[in-house]
Amino acid sequence: MKMIKGPALFLAQFAGDEAPFNSLENIAKWAGSLGFRGIQMPSWDKRLFDLERAAEDLDYCKEVTETLGKYGLELTELSTHLQGQLVAVHPAYDEMFDIFAPEHLHGKPDERQKWAVDQLYLAAKASKNFGLKAHATFSGALLWPFVYPWPQRPQGLVETGFAELAKRWKPILDAFDEVGVDVCYELHPGEDLHDGVTFERFLKEVDNHPRANILYDPSHFILQQLDYLAFIDRYHDRIKMFHVKDAEFNPTAQQGVYGGYEGWVERAGRFRSLGDGQVDFKGIFSKLTQYNYDGWAVIEWECCMKHPEAGAEEGSRFVSEHIIRITEKAFDDFAGGEADEASNRRILGLGGK
């Protein structure tokens, strides 16, 4: 068995204009002081990181690595969640998703999509420069408006949507393959890849591409009422990244999975800080360890109640306490058990035959 690494922290929800969240140096010092050992980097936030420089400038990559190292931290992965979202956008969401792209691309969906793809190519180069093995992203969505359709979906609509999604992602997957980095899609409502069935549809369309893998986040499965432990049994060979995020689902007479357009606090399904929700993390850490997952346990803090700094501080301890220190021997070794073929045959009553 292999041992999970951590705790690590995804910085997207913490970056800001006020210290200590306004520069890589400051936020690294803060994260290191809380006991984190790794950080997952949002590639779009120039306050912390310059993706374009990282793709071309090895000295810059060394500078980032050394800055993190001063505080006992490693770079776990880069993230292009926002850019990945823009690889595939249904027109219904064009205006809302403009905010994920530079202002000069607003209102220009074709140019915005091209920019997003170029960002993924830069992320592949930057990941190689840092010596990383996995990359976090979203798939984007062409079909999400039709996930629960009325009127019924036209025949072939889903097949056409997944064929187009695969067409857009296949060259990106090939680029990541060239640099030896896995693309890990966070399976998430709002994305065309949001559960096991949709991931399998996509895999089929990209010819089971070896770089098409999964960022496992159980919080999104709680909200979908999916069996997140059995998911590990089925897809463990494709799980290359792990977001440690808690959630709860408390259906009422008034609402269920869809949430009735309520705010996060009022929804039946809502994200919580680690330990405050319903996710069975002992079961998750046990299964991932069983299947030799040796990547990072990365906290993605999202909670509708608790302050983020409290969530980070508590979360660091939570993950440290859940990482299983693997055993190097069987618990019953003390009772003996070594034998040779001759003695085994005698024990079975087979004599010397």
Per-residue pLDDT of the chain (353 residues; tens, 9 = 90+): 899 999 999 999 999 999 999 999 999 999 999 999 999 999 999 999 999 999 999 999 999 999 999 999 999 999 999 999 999 999 999 999 999 999 999 999 999 999 999 999 999 999 999 999 999 999 999 999 999 999 999 999 999 999 999 999 999 999 999 999 999 999 999 999 999 999 999 999 999 999 999 999 999 999 999 999 999 999 999 999 999 999 999 999 999 999 999 999 999 999 999 999 999 999 999 999 999 999 999 999 999 999 999 999 999 999 999 999 987 776 666 667 777 888 888 889 997 65
The answer to whether residue 209 sits within a structural domain is: yes
**Which helix (H) or strand (E) element contains residue 136?**
strand 134-137
* Measured distance CA(37)–CA(153) in Å, rounded: 47
The answer to whether residue 15 sits within a structural domain is: yes
Q: State the DSSP string of 52-98.
A: HHHHH-HHHHHHHHHHHHTTT-EEEEEEEHHHHHTTSB-GGGHHHHG
* Measured distance CA(220)–CA(240) in Å, rounded: 17
The residue type of 118 is D
Which sign does the torsion angle of CA 12, 14, 19, 24 carry? Answer: negative
CATH number of 89's domain:
3.20.20.150
* Measured distance CA(45)–CA(15) in Å, rounded: 8
Sequence-distant (≥ 6) Cβ neighbours of residue 88 within 8 angstroms: 113, 139, 140, 141, 142, 164, 165, 168, 192
The residue type of 71 is Y
Query: Would you mind telling me the total number of residues written for the chain in this entry?
Result: 353
Cβ atoms within 10 Å of 53's Cβ, excluding its own = 16
The answer to whether residue 114 sits within a structural domain is: yes
The answer to whether residue 242 sits within a structural domain is: yes
The residue type of 207 is D
How many structural domains compose the chain?
A: 1
Q: Which of helix, strand or coil describes residue 230?
A: helix
Closest CA to 7 of 268, 287, 335, 317: 317
The answer to whether residue 353 sits within a structural domain is: no
Sequence-distant (≥ 6) Cβ neighbours of residue 161 within 8 angstroms: 142, 143, 192
Q: State the DSSP string of 97-114.
A: HGGGS-GGGTT-HHHHHH
The answer to whether residue 352 sits within a structural domain is: no
pTM here is 0.95
Which sign does the torsion angle of CA 157, 257, 189, 284 carry? Answer: negative
Sequence-distant (≥ 6) Cβ neighbours of residue 288 within 8 angstroms: 4, 216, 232, 236, 239, 242
The residue type of 277 is G
Contact (Cβ atoms closer than 8 angstroms) between residue 176 and residue 133 = no
The two structure tokens encoding residue 92: 């219904």
The answer to whether residue 153 sits within a structural domain is: yes
In Å, the largest CA–CA distance within the chain is 84
The answer to whether residue 129 sits within a structural domain is: yes
- Domain extent, residue 78, equals 5-347
